[in-house]
Chains A and B, each alone.
Chain A
Amino acid sequence: MKARLAPAAALITLSLGAIAPPVLCADADPELDSLMALLAQRRHGEADFSEKKYLSMLRQPLESSGVLIYDAPAHLEQRTDRPRPQSVVLDQGIVTMQIGQRRRVLRLADYPELAPLIDSIRATLAGDRAALERVFELGFSGTLAHWQLRLEPREARLAATLKRIDMRGEGDAVREVQVQQSDGDRSVMSITPRE
């Protein structure tokens, strides 16, 4: 269901990278391509995260924190410790969610309305710029050492709910993901790699 699926999207946004050969175009922005290649090299990563969701209906932001674990090419976990333990695991296209007593197993491909979003974000982290640009306008700024990547939906259907995703990173590490919704609500996730 839509409600239960989005986590996968959010989750993959946070993916520390996926493995795929970067596709280089003749007119490619060389720095963006370098970033893609860099992200694609990452095989494994663990990071602490803390997230704040700013929702208009709540008087205060919802806060949560936990651990992100990534294994190339297709395994990603988001384990939330606070306020209550929850977990979302993406493995080979299958999403397993455990929230309270509820456990759900979903196949990502079963949800075509979300697939472009998810695939595009996956493509970003895998360095597949061509696939990415089918769905989003990309905006790269900064340097490889301190970069920002802005993803804005091309299609109106997606843009109706999602305004943009802003990622900020240092080298091959994603440090922050901000999701801005069209109705003004937003979430900010800070990521601190474990060494």
Chain B
Amino acid sequence: MMRPRVLSLTLWLALVALSTLIVARARYSADLSAFLPRSPSATQQLLVQQLQDGLASRLILIGIEGADGVTRAQASRALAATLRAGPGFVSVSNGEAASQDKDRQFVFEHRYQLSAAVTPERFTVEGLRAAIADNLELMASPAGLSAKPLFVSDPTGETLQVIEQFEGAAQPRREQGVWSSGDGARALLIAQTRAAGSDTDGQAQAIALIRAAFAASHSPTAAAPSASAALPPRPTPAPAPLQLLLTGPAVFSVDARATIEHEAVRLSLLSTTLIVTLLLLVYRSLPTLLSGLLPVASGALAGVAAVALGFGVVHGITLGFGVTLIGESVDYSIYLFVQGQRARAGSADDSTRRALWRTIGLGVLTSICGFASLLPSSFPGLAQLGLFSISGLIAAAAVTRLVLPQLPLTPRVANLTPLGSGAARLIGRARLPFSLAAALALACALLLFHDRDRLWNRDLSALSPVPAAAQALDASMRSDLGAPDIGNLVVVNADSEQAALQLSEALGARLDALVSQQVIAGYDSAARFLPSQQTQAARLASLPAEETLRARLAPAAASLALRPDALAAFVQQVASARRAAPITRADLAGTSFALGADALLWHRDGAWHALLPLRANASAAGIAGAGDIDIGRVRAALAPLAPGQVLVMNIKHELDALYGSYLAEAVHLSLAGLAAIVLLLLIALRSAARAARIIAPLLLAVLVVGAGFTLSGTRLTILHLIGMLLIVAVGSNYALFFDRRAADRDRSALPLTLASLLIANACTVIGFGVLAFARVPVLSALGATVAPGTLLALLFAALLAPRRLMASP
């Protein structure tokens, strides 16, 4: 007897030590990637990449509210200056004149590389005459006098031409010289972090830098006017203090991580406290309680270790889900201790104990079948939950079976027979006739079928841990900054930067045709910020030599009454432009062109990608418009160009498809899990009727929960579906105890069986019930499904159990 005890305890301690080591050294991540798919289609991959690592993920939008416009503008300038001086940000834009002047200067200096109007024809006698006449007309306009300095350098109007190429992009409103919201009440800035979007720690540091810079420049002493003592006290109330608002993907990631971490800790503590309190009512000694929790702790440790080994990184959300494991694995020690009461009372023999373990073992296996179906999920979060639960359950069951009995412990358990007998009598009275159960199932099924079109929430954001208020703030700051809701995109894949730019230019020519046909209102392209070297070279080559230009300019100027020497500056600047090199990405540094080019052109893993967002005609359907593009016509127009490299996509459609494929996958996985459980029961019980009796209450519970959600207006997400699978996986543990054959063996065991099931179920309901109050939607959806579902599963299993089983002994 000594040897197996030593062996099992040693083995257990060794495994605990090993797991602890792995857990301590594991990498933990709490960003949003748990909610992003692993292996979507190529198009979707691009989307996901952009979400995770694209320029957009590195932009933090900053708002400053409160006080008055002048103070906000000062705060905006001070914040921008501080952040620009530090190493944390690539760029900080706030609409200041300084940066605007820089852009204008850049456009002016590089007008002959950037202007699409620069062609050989433009510089013939007739071309020059027409272009100059056009710009002289501007001179006659009220703009005249101030347009003059530009005119003498650029009489063909290339600077204005370039500016007009960007015309479609909406500009944020300016107040006191800096960007502000549409209502003028909030100053706005855009900061581009040096840290990658997927580097949550780096993003958290960047956010901390912004907060610190803001706090430092607006400490109460700094804000107080120096001459305040000399002024008489003001009767007006003091203006509201300045407030800092931050939004953007990075802010969401950092906040989500904080929320998930906070929730995981808070909920685990809460449910542990509740469960321990409940167990203290049952276990009447601390050693009994502690040893009862031993399987749970071992299971959690083994679960995290398995995830760390299997995935390399543990998602915070997995730990959040892990709360659920407490609810289930604590059951095993309850069964062991409570039912062990009888053994010690001498009313049970070895065969009863073996029967108990057979039932528990089958329960563990059904749960494993359920969780195993999560393993292939595209959601890393769900796959981790699957592995965590499987390893956790196996460890918990093994510790209960092999370690607990070896401990020098006499469990002290409250007398639960009265509770069990009472429950048995209650159930004996309140039977659920099979016909009624069938009618209930049918009614729920009909309700679900009737509402099938609005059963599912098809919006991916339903899974997002970002609160609706934060999403609304983000949307409002984004629209104030003129970032359009991108509805349709043309995506270019190429081998090199130049190939991507050339293809963008070729696409641009066709899109220009679609603009004039009014299929689209406009589009953006990286090639506007950074034309391909080839295009730039062609433009520069169309500039005539100095003598030629002078000769052609003379007749053109004469016919327009221009003095011969008026355009000397122009001739000189064209001459130096001819010698200039094409601009490269590096030349854009320090201008807002850099941001524009990076947003629309990037490379990753050796491939270059360019985006051409399309703008819908506003006239087509008011101002909204994202969906109003005839995407078929766009596809047809672009089809002849590099078919493998050009994709036209509607973001909404792609996201819907992405989520649709998630949902379809989850449905398939859940059905597979259900099938595995049914198969397992058929094999273990060798009777279709018995298997059906076990499955029936579980399905009924699932249908009632589903109908409940529909009736309460909650649309189901993938997590609800997974929750339903868990109802079956966990509920099968209960239902197995009501199996005729198992119960028939020893009917005197019934009251204690019922009591231990009640307590086990209470623990599960607590574990998941607490989860239902999480602020992370994936957690709360799971909790809200499983908590009522398992309660109903136990209830239906008891109510549907064979009548004679419930007859009080």
Asked whether A and B interact, the reply is yes
Chain B residues with CB under 8 A of A112:
97, 174, 176-177
Kindly list chain A residues whose C-beta atoms are within 8 Å of the C-beta of B160: 1, 3-4, 102
Using Cβ atoms and an 8 Å threshold, which residues of chain B touch A83?
A: 137, 140
A56 contacts across to B, CB distance below 8 A: 563, 566
Contact of B145 among A8, A102, A179 (CB under 8 A): A179
Question: Is there contact, CB below 8 Å, between A10 and B145?
Answer: yes
Residues of chain A with a CB closer than 8 A to B138's CB: 3, 99
Known interface pairs A3-B147, A112-B176, A185-B148; A53-B140 also in contact (CB < 8 Å): yes
Interface size on A, residues (CB 8 A): 43
Establish whether residues B146 and A5, one from each chain, have CB atoms under 8 Å apart when the complex forms: yes
Which bucket holds chain B's interface residue count? Answer: 20 to 34
Which of A28-36, A58-66, A143-151, A166-174 is the interface stretch? A58-66
Partner of B142 from the list A10, A63, A107 (CB cut-off 8 Å) is A10
Q: Check if B175 is an interface residue, CB within 8 A of chain A.
A: yes
B140 touching A64, Cβ below 8 Å: yes
- Whether A86 and B141, one on each chain, are in contact in the complex, defined by CB atoms closer than 8 angstroms, is yes
The smallest C-beta distance from B121 to any residue of chain A, in angstroms, reads 18
Binding site of A, secondary structure by majority: helix, strand, loop or mixed?
A: mixed
- Residues of chain B contacted by A1 (CB below 8 angstroms): 104, 160, 163
Docked-complex contact A187 and B145, CB < 8 angstroms: yes
Let me know if A100 and B146 touch, CB within 8 A: no
In the assembly, what is the distance between CA of A122 and CA of B97, in Å?
Answer: 22
Residues in A whose Cβ lies below 8 Å from that of B137? 83-84, 86, 99-100
B794 CB to nearest chain A CB (Å): 66
| B172 and chain A: residue at smallest CB distance | A110
Residues of A within 8 A of B146 (CB): 2-3, 5-6, 9, 161
**Using Cβ atoms and an 8 Å threshold, which residues of chain A touch B136?**
62
User: Shortest CB–CB separation between residue A111 and chain B, in angstroms?
Assistant: 8
Interface of B is mostly: helix
Interface status of B545 (Cβ within 8 A of chain A): no
The reply on A57 being an interface residue by CB < 8 A is yes
Would you list which residues of chain A between 84 and 134 have a CB under 8 Å from chain B?
Answer: 84, 86, 88, 97, 99-100, 102, 104, 107, 109-113
Instruction: Answer whether A55 and B148 are a contact pair too, CB < 8 Å, given A1-B104, A11-B142, A62-B139.
Output: yes
CB-defined contacts of A109 to chain B, threshold 8 Å? 173-175
CB distance A3 to B150 under 8 Å?
yes
Kindly state the separation between the CA atoms of A132 and B646 in the bound complex, as whole angstroms.
58
> Does A73 have its Cβ within 8 Å of any Cβ on chain B?
no
Q: Is the CB of A57 within 8 A of B562?
A: yes
> Smallest CB-CB separation from B73: which chain A residue?
A112
**In angstroms, how far is the closest chain A Cβ from the Cβ of B778?**
43
Does A45 count as interface, using CB distance less than 8 angstroms? Answer: no
> For residue B150, which residue of chain A has the nearest CB?
A3
Q: How far is the CA of A53 from the CA of B144 in the complex (A)?
A: 8
8 Å CB interface, A155-195 against B: 161, 179, 181, 185, 187
Q: Does B561 contact A (CB under 8 A)?
A: yes
With a cutoff of 8 Å between Cβ atoms, the chain A residues found around residue B566 in the complex are 56-58
Does any Cβ of B come within 8 Å of A15's Cβ? no
With contact pairs A1-B104, A99-B138, A112-B176 given, residues A57 and B144 touching in the complex (Cβ less than 8 Å)? no
A110 touches B145 (CB 8 A): no
B145–A78 touching, CB < 8 Å: no
Interface string of B563-591 (1 = CB under 8 A from A): 10011000000000000000000000000
Chain B residues with CB under 8 Å of A7's CB are: 141-144
Partner of A88, one of B141, B151, B167: B141
With A55-B139, A58-B566, A102-B164 known as contacts, the answer to whether A107 contacts B145 (CB < 8 A) is no
Give the distance in Å from the alpha carbon of A88 to the alpha carbon of B567 in the complex.
Answer: 28
Task: Give the residues in chain A near B678, CB-CB below 8 Å.
Answer: none
Contact assessment for A88 and B142 in the assembled complex, using a CB-CB cutoff below 8 Å:
yes
Q: Restricting to B250-289, which residues have a CB under 8 Å from any CB of A? A: none
**In-complex Cβ contact of B147 among A6, A9, A64, A88 (8 A):** A6
Q: Which residue of A lies closest to B95 (CB)?
A: A110
Q: In the assembled complex, how far is the CB of residue B694 from the closest CB belonging to chain A, in whole angstroms?
A: 71
Interface centre among A55, A100, A104, by most chain B C-beta atoms within 10 angstroms, is: A55
Q: Considering the chains assembled together, what is the distance between the CA atoms of A104 and B166 in angstroms? A: 12
Interface pair B174/A3, CB less than 8 Å apart? no
Q: Complex Cα distance A77/B375, Å?
A: 69
Residues of A within 8 A of B164 (CB): 102
Alpha-carbon separation in the docked complex, A104 to B147 (Å): 15
User: CA–CA, A7 to B137, complex, Å?
Assistant: 13
Q: Which residues of B contact A4 (CB under 8 A)?
A: 143, 147, 160
Q: Are A59 and B562 touching (Cβ within 8 A)?
A: yes
What residues of B have a CB within 8 angstroms of the CB of A161 in the complex?
Answer: 146
Looking at the complex, which one of A5, A179, A181 makes contact with B143 (CB distance below 8 Å)? A5
| Known contacts A97-B141, A113-B97, A185-B148; 10 further A-B pairs (Cβ under 8 A) | A2-B150, A3-B138, A4-B160, A8-B142, A62-B139, A83-B140, A100-B134, A100-B137, A112-B174, A187-B145
A residues whose Cβ falls under 8 Å from a Cβ of B: 1-11, 53, 55-60, 62-64, 78, 80, 83-84, 86, 88, 97, 99-100, 102, 104, 107, 109-113, 161, 179, 181, 185, 187
Q: What are 24 A-B interface contacts by the 8 Å CB criterion?
A: A2-B104, A2-B150, A3-B143, A5-B143, A5-B146, A6-B147, A10-B143, A10-B145, A11-B142, A53-B144, A53-B145, A57-B148, A58-B563, A62-B140, A80-B140, A80-B141, A83-B140, A86-B137, A86-B140, A109-B174, A110-B174, A111-B174, A161-B146, A185-B148
